[in-house]
A and B are shown apart, each in its own frame.
Chain A
């Protein structure tokens, strides 16, 4: 009834090719932004920030990154945890070496460092494809973690190899370290997530994104029509790793505050982020956010429901939670292999015709 294109006239190409061509979508988008920037920072408390929103935003960034590589460029990677570790250790080294420079710049630089490492480990993708590549990226995962665990320089020679984020401020407010307030944490992650999502959206619908998709759909055919696979694949690895590096830097510096390579950035992280993009939808910006929300919220929700509301023993609840999450993943893949993004699209299609479907 209200969700209509009718009457929403476009008079320029610019209007026609905008991200949200339907007026209601646009309004919804602005409304979400207004709530996210204007209301949530004033009502957020520690629990909501630390248990729900901050991890959601950080994982959304990581999922965006992996989605660029896997969803848009078709290169399956299981090295996400390792690349996040690169971002985390890079930001740690930078913030302890140059304490006077803004942490925001350090976070971006950490993304840059990760991009370089990503390109390095992306080189084999020119020869290796499919599952072989997926397993090959595990080499990055295990090697990087081992390296960070082994070389004392990375953790500033501390006795136990743990890295701890010192306090750094932005505009006079602490954003890392223990004194950080919930709104500050949330806002830093929100700004990053917003800017990166905007960047991802515009990259993927520009020439670069189209090259990636051409490579994804068939690399030999893409090569024949003039897409350079070397540059397309490596640029995908670089951009993806940049995102993932920033996510790792935020995860360590803003969210956790202290980390240990093997524990915080293990192979489980790689799988978790991969799950997010599969459940959310490969090749979709919205899907990255939806998948991250699903995988972050689901366990918290189940735990609170089973332990908090039903009063089950925690171990039983944890085991059943595993079964439910596993079962849901399978069920999801069966019902909608293209993820939440596809479901959302179908809902919108239906809405356009509602209440008079033909």
Chain B
């Protein structure tokens, strides 16, 4: 009995490793826990694009893509378990959608030689490819996002923010604290005053924070929130009648589920984004034909076209393009993570290429190199239309202020290199 039980336990644990497949891109998703509602949509978009490639093109370069999913619940320990469970199955690249898990994996992937792709999250200074050989965070990072938001405000104010008051409402965690340094630098440069208002996770109760905003009357509020914090913040902002067009969220605070609970009150709310929204792209016809209609969509396709879904799909697009580049460069279709890394470093997604994919103007052009793992950092602003129930893109892709962002990236990546004992590569 006891041996049987032990055997069962061992068998159960061993069953974690999926069978070898051609190209393995694990999806470390979270569909449960405090951020499950956001994570579900992202994971669906990520899965569906690869399903489309498999169904329509027979994979990439003739190799089918396998996307084993592993639930992390946004929990670092479960994330580690998922990583360990999948890494020996020939996994090429990881995209955990969690800053905490990313920090966990950064040292690990460098030793295990896996690519870590963290679009729009994770460690910002990973943009420096000289230090972070295996990590890519194109097309934009948190600091780019903060800078693009400020640029938008500059545009609105005729190029000057002199004497304005801007408040940063942020998730009191590694993620939320990211933009502070950048915004401080920008405040110095453009002469606005910055006040920092932390919200302790999860952010169910934000009465004090928004009372403070009502008292201080900042001209603009920038928000770095995630999960329930977004819904509550937008609701509270509507409650105090803060002008919604002066509230700008980062891309993680820019999804339908963030604004919908506040109803009409959320009309006019803006957020930064680096991917297109809505379903007005030719790719969605293929998606309908090959994935949704045959019933192969992840979770029944209930979130197709939402902002977070689109972002998950965009991450899959970039990974697929990197795989394609790697295949072309190495001349073999069954690539290794090392070859994929090369593919990422030589990634060049032009607008023409996006048109070919069926997603014209869906994201900024991405051109990476050995030293630049973060792309141009371009992003745009979207605005919520509560009557129509959709996001509208209101600006073109805008360059961040690299003068401010780049030195910070240098500084932070150098600090990491010293701490971790890494000698930066020559590029």
Contact = CB atoms under 8 A, between A and B. Distances in A.
Asked whether any CB of A lies within 8 Å of a CB of B in the complex, the reply is yes
19 contacts: A47-B88, A149-B173, A160-B103, A160-B123, A160-B174, A160-B178, A161-B173, A164-B107, A178-B108, A259-B76, A262-B173, A263-B174, A264-B77, A300-B81, A301-B9, A303-B16, A307-B69, A309-B12, A315-B299
Interface in A241-285: 255-260, 262-264
B84 A160 contact: no
B118 interface: no
A52 B13 contact: yes
B201 interface: yes
Interface in A157-176: 158-162, 164, 166-167
Contact of B173 (A45, A167, A263, A317): A263
7 closest Cβ pairs, A-B complex: A315-B31, A178-B107, A160-B174, A308-B15, A314-B71, A51-B81, A318-B32
Interface string B86-119: 0110000000000110011011101100000000
Interface in A296-341: 297, 299-301, 303-305, 307-309, 313-315, 317-319, 322
A224 interface: no
A158 B415 contact: yes
Given A314-B70, A318-B73, A167 B421 contact: yes
A183 interface: no
Interface in A36-54: 45-48, 50-52
Interface residues of A, number: 48
A84 to B, nearest CB: 12
Nearest to A163: B103
B111 A178 contact: yes
Nearest to B80: A50
B17 A179 contact: no
A146 interface: yes
Contacts of B201: 262
A177 interface: yes
B412 A159 contact: yes
Nearest to B106: A258
B32 A319 contact: yes
B106 to A, nearest CB: 7
Contact of B40 (A149, A258, A315): A315
Contact of B110 (A178, A262, A318, A319): A178
A55 interface: yes
Interface of A: 45-48, 50-52, 55, 96, 146, 149, 158-162, 164, 166-167, 177-179, 255-260, 262-264, 297, 299-301, 303-305, 307-309, 313-315, 317-319, 322
B18 interface: yes
B29 interface: yes
A308 B103 contact: no
A50 B81 contact: yes
A51 B71 contact: no
Contacts of A259: 76
Interface in B53-70: 69-70
A271 B129 CA distance: 41
Given A96-B419, A160-B174, 9 more contacts: A50-B84, A178-B107, A178-B111, A304-B16, A307-B70, A309-B15, A315-B32, A315-B36, A318-B73
Nearest to B16: A304
A260 B173 contact: yes
A264 B13 contact: no
B298 to A, nearest CB: 9
Contacts of B124: 159
B171 to A, nearest CB: 10
A312 to B, nearest CB: 11
B108 A257 contact: yes
A256 B77 contact: yes
